[in-house]
């Protein structure tokens, strides 16, 4: 059975485009049609500009026709999380606060995608200002898991995961501050990669927590993700925290590393924590798979794991409380209709513009930075953070990468956790440490729960060794068929 166009991988589509078996306009139209057919159910898009996407597709076809094709991503529709600035397009961060804001500039990763010829497609739903693990904190609309519409797609990049999973985009960009790419990728049965901190420029990414945020690719296959990562990586003069290093040809590097017998570590603390072993059954099978192909698998210890969530919620909220101060009702944001003075303007505009979770985190962050509490919370959290990174660096002296579940549970029902923020926070236990340590992490589908919900396998790697993660992931992927399994919509 020939697969629907909208479920093909970027790698396959790229070949068809190169061979001129398919035009970018046809592909883009197929994606648009699919989106029109299913997005009422999925809710992956905050907004979409179909005319603009088709115009980009036409330009791509014209380039290919005249022999000026820009490479594998030229003409491939890529969905963009609504947290990245695209010139002339709305940028809402799924918040009422940003209302009708239209970005006057392009994020660096967007500029790079533009020069790779990709078709930038739509603004994808997310938890407000990337704060959340279910996309239930979106002020725009409800986003559902394509595998079970009663379940959440994960978050905060829920729209980016759902859109790829449901065939509404070939690949997408998300952002990951504590697992926001990997966890929704796991929930929606796709591949998501959080690069090393500093690998991809943050310029144009509306900041949640500056020292943790990282833009990354999401797609149906490891190779798709590698292709997009290659296109968006690299040092950027406009982001001081971006790393000065040559961009790796990830696809070629994966080819080179093929068949390598990796030494893989199982973080003891992660598996000890797993309450629901059924939920991580496929992860255990994946471990057996790696053993079966000759990889050495050994237990390692990340002793400070138990402090990761507390540390994260101190560091992330502190930075967020300051980063979100700019949304104040004065310049481009939502402004209350009537107010007495500028203080009242701030109070009312922010009270109306921000959702509950955002307010909760701003308050928490403001508290931990307050004089008298700074040393006990923020400073201590930074010290623990250094120890958490130390745990990983020590483990990487012994192993090439770590294998773990992405999430302790598969996608949960909408509303199930929204009344209990703490249990929601705890579901990020496996992903958060990678952000604190600044290391890369990838989630790829490795099976299904008893209820038929996708389960993610997480691979955590050494800083700036994304090609190793990709190669390890691809070894599993190529021996299984998860990338060709799609939700019934």
Nearest distance, CB of residue 384 and other proteins, angstroms: 16
How many residues interact with other proteins (rule CB under 8 A)? 44
Residue 353 CB, nearest distance to other proteins (Å)?
A: 13
Both structure tokens of 65: 């026709």
Least gap, CB of 203 to other proteins (angstroms): 5
Span near other proteins by CB under 8 A; candidates 16-24, 102-110, 114-122, 262-270: 102-110
156 assigned to active site:
yes
What x/- string results for residues 219 through 258 when contact with other proteins is judged by CB under 8 A?
A: ------------------xxxxx-----------------
User: Is residue 404 within 8 Å of 266, Cβ to Cβ?
Assistant: yes
- How many C-beta atoms surround the C-beta of residue 468 within 10 A? 20
Distance from C-alpha of 324 to C-alpha of 216, rounded to nearest angstrom: 22
Nearer to other proteins, 239 or 400 (CB): 239
Among 57, 84, 227, 429, binds other proteins (CB under 8 A): 84
- 120 vs 453, beta carbon nearer other proteins: 120
368-427 positions binding other proteins, by CB under 8 A? 369-371, 374, 378
- Name the H helices within 325-427: 342-353, 356-369, 380-398, 421-426
Q: Please state whether beta strands 77-81 and 119-124 pair in parallel, antiparallel, or not at all (unpaired).
A: parallel
Question: In the complex with other proteins, which residue's Cβ is closer, 153 or 159?
Answer: 159
Question: Is beta strand 296-300 parallel, antiparallel or unpaired with respect to 263-267?
Answer: parallel
| Options 95-103, 303-311, 426-434, 435-443: segment touching other proteins (CB under 8 A) | 95-103
Cα–Cα distances in angstroms (integers) from residue 325 to residues 112, 353, 459, in the given order:
29, 12, 35
Distance between CA atoms of residues 116 and 300, nearest Å:
40
Residue 159's nearest CA partner among 194, 195, 121 is 121
Residue 273 Cα distances to 339, 431, 446, angstroms: 50, 13, 20
- The tokens 């929930």 sit on which residue? 187
What is the chain's alpha carbon radius of gyration, rounded to the nearest angstrom?
Answer: 21
Identified catalytic residue from 81, 348, 414, 462:
81
Determine which residue in the list 34, 123, 199, 202 makes contact with other proteins, applying CB under 8 A: 202
The interface region with other proteins, picked from 4-12, 104-112, 299-307, 395-403 by CB under 8 A, is: 104-112
Residue pointed to by tokens 């994260």: 312
Contact (Cβ atoms closer than 8 angstroms) between residue 295 and residue 262: yes
CA 463 to the chain's CA centroid: 18
Catalytic pick among 134, 144, 156, 175 = 156
Tell which one of 203, 313, 396, 412 touches other proteins (CB under 8 A).
203
Q: Quote the CA–CA distance of 477 and 222 in Å, as a whole number.
A: 8
Percent helix, strand, coil in the chain, to 5, is 45, 15, 40
Residues from 333 through 362 that contact other proteins (CB under 8 A): 342-343, 346
The reply to whether 180 belongs to the active site is yes
**Dihedrals φ, ψ of 238, to 5°?**
-90, 0
How far apart (Å, rounded) are the C-alpha atoms in residues 235 and 71?
Answer: 21
Q: What are the backbone dihedrals phi and psi of residue 66, each rounded to the nearest 5 degrees, phi first? A: -95, 10
CB of 105 to other proteins, least distance (A): 5
Q: State the nearest-atom distance from the C-beta of 450 to other proteins, in Å.
A: 42
Given the complex with other proteins, which of 207 and 439 has the nearer CB atom? 207
Angle, vertex CA 51, rays to CA 49 and CA 53, nearest 5? 70
CA 288 to the chain's CA centroid: 27
> Is 321 part of the annotated catalytic residue set?
no
Rounded least distance, CB 264 to other proteins, Å: 32
Of the two residues 240 and 488, which places its CB atom closer to other proteins in the complex?
A: 240
**Are the C-beta atoms of 436 and 304 separated by less than 8 Å?**
no
**How many other C-beta atoms lie within 10 A of the C-beta of residue 340?**
9
Task: Specify the residue, 98 or 459, whose C-beta has the smaller distance to other proteins.
Answer: 98
Residues numbered 30 to 59 that lie near other proteins (CB under 8 A) are none
CB of 174 to other proteins, least distance (A): 15
128 binds other proteins (CB under 8 A): no
The stretch near other proteins (CB under 8 A) out of 45-53, 186-194, 204-212, 445-453 is: 204-212
Q: Site mask, other proteins, residues 275-314, x = CB under 8 A?
A: ----------------------------------------
Stretch that binds other proteins, among 14-22, 101-109, 354-362, 420-428 (CB under 8 A): 101-109
Binding site for other proteins (CB under 8 A): 84-85, 91, 93, 98, 101, 103-105, 107, 202-207, 209-211, 237-241, 318-319, 321-322, 325-328, 330-332, 342-343, 346, 366, 369-371, 374, 378
Active site residues: 81, 156, 180
């Amino acid at each position: 059975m020939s697969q629907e166009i909208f479920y093909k991988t970027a790698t396959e589509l790229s070949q068809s485009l190169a061979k001129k078996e398919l035009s970018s306009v046809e592909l883009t139209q197929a994606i648009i049609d699919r989106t029109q057919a299913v997005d009422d159910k999925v809710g992956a898009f905050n907004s979409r500009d179909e005319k603009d996407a088709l115009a980009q597709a036409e330009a791509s076809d014209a380039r290919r026709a005249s022999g000026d094709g820009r490479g594998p991503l030229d003409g491939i529709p890529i969905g963009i999380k609504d947290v990245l600035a695209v010139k002339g397009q709305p940028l809402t961060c799924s918040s009422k606060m940003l209302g009708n804001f239209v970005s006057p500039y392009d994020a660096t990763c967007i500029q790079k995608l533009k020069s790779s010829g990709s078709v930038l497609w739509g603004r994808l739903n997310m938890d407000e200002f990337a704060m959340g693990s279910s996309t239930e904190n979106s002020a725009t609309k409800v986003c559902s898991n394509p595998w079970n519409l009663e379940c959440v797609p994960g978050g905060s990049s829920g729209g980016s995961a759902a859109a790829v999973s449901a065939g509404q985009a070939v690949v997408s960009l998300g952002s990951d501050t504590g697992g926001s790419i990997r966890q929704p990728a796991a929930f929606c049965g796709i591949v998501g990669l959080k690069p090393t901190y500093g690998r991809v420029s943050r310029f144009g990414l509306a900041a949640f927590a500056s020292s943790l945020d990282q833009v990354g690719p999401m797609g149906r296959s490891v190779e798709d993700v590698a292709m997009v990562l290659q296109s968006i990586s690299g040092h950027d003069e406009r982001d001081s925290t971006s790393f000065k290093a040559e961009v790796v040809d990830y696809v070629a590097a994966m080819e080179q590393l093929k068949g390598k017998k990796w030494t893989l570590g199982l973080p003891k603390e992660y598996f000890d924590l797993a309450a629901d072993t059924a939920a991580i059954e496929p992860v255990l099978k994946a471990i057996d798979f790696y053993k079966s192909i000759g990889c050495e698998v050994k237990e390692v210890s990340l002793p400070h794991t138990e402090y990761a969530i507390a540390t994260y919620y101190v560091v992330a909220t502190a930075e967020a409380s300051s980063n979100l101060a700019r949304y104040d009702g004065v310049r481009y944001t939502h402004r209350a209709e009537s107010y007495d003075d500028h203080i009242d303007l701030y109070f009312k505009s922010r009270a109306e513009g921000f959702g509950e979770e955002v307010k909760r985190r701003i308050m928490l962050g403001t508290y931990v930075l307050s004089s008298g509490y700074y040393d006990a919370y923020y400073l201590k959290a930074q010290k623990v953070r250094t120890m958490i990174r130390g745990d990983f660096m020590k483990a990487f002296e012994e192993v090439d990468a770590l294998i773990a579940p992405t999430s302790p549970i598969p996608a949960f029902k909408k509303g199930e956790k929204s009344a209990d923020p703490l249990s929601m926070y705890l579901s990020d236990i496996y992903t958060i440490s990678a952000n604190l340590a600044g290391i890369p992490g990838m989630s790829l589908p490795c099976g299904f729960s008893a209820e038929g919900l996708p389960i993610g396998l997480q691979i955590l790697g050494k800083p700036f060794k994304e090609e190793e993660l990709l190669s390890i992931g691809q070894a599993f992927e190529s021996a299984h068929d998860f990338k060709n399994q799609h939700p019934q919509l």
